[in-house]
Amino acid sequence: MKRGTVFPTFSTGFFADVRIVGYHLRLFAHIDETRWASSVYSMHTNMWITQVRVAKDAEHAKADAEIVARQLLPGKHQIAWRAAALTA
């Protein structure tokens, strides 16, 4: 895997990027085993910011990840979620 390239290894879910100068977070909302979950990854440190957090559904998982991102990177961010898909 190239440095700076982190994509989910699941086939059902969503991801979004939040960037400000010097910082880049990748947010995930995905099915973890049999339930929805959220997590946040720091692209500039190559470390997970949060462990997987259980959510009620996809929207709840997205909202949880967005809360973490807004706490870490204050300001107005437009977060555009994209569907995650495995590619061969």
Distance in angstroms (rounded) separating the CA atoms of residues 56 and 37: 8
pLDDT band at 1 (very low <50, low <70, confident <90, very high): very low
What tens digit of pLDDT does each residue of 20-35 get?
Answer: 888 899 999 998 777 8
Q: What is the DSSP letter of 75?
A: S
Q: Is residue 64 part of a domain?
A: yes
Q: Which amino acid is at 38?
A: S
Structure tokens at 80: 């555009």
Query: What's the number of domains the chain is made of?
Result: 1
What tens digit of pLDDT does each residue of 21-77 get?
Answer: 888 999 999 987 778 999 999 998 989 998 889 999 999 999 999 999 999 988 888
Q: What is the pTM of this model?
A: 0.82
Q: Is residue 18 part of a domain?
A: yes
Q: Which amino acid is at 5?
A: T
Q: Tell me the residue range of the domain where 29 lies.
A: 13-83
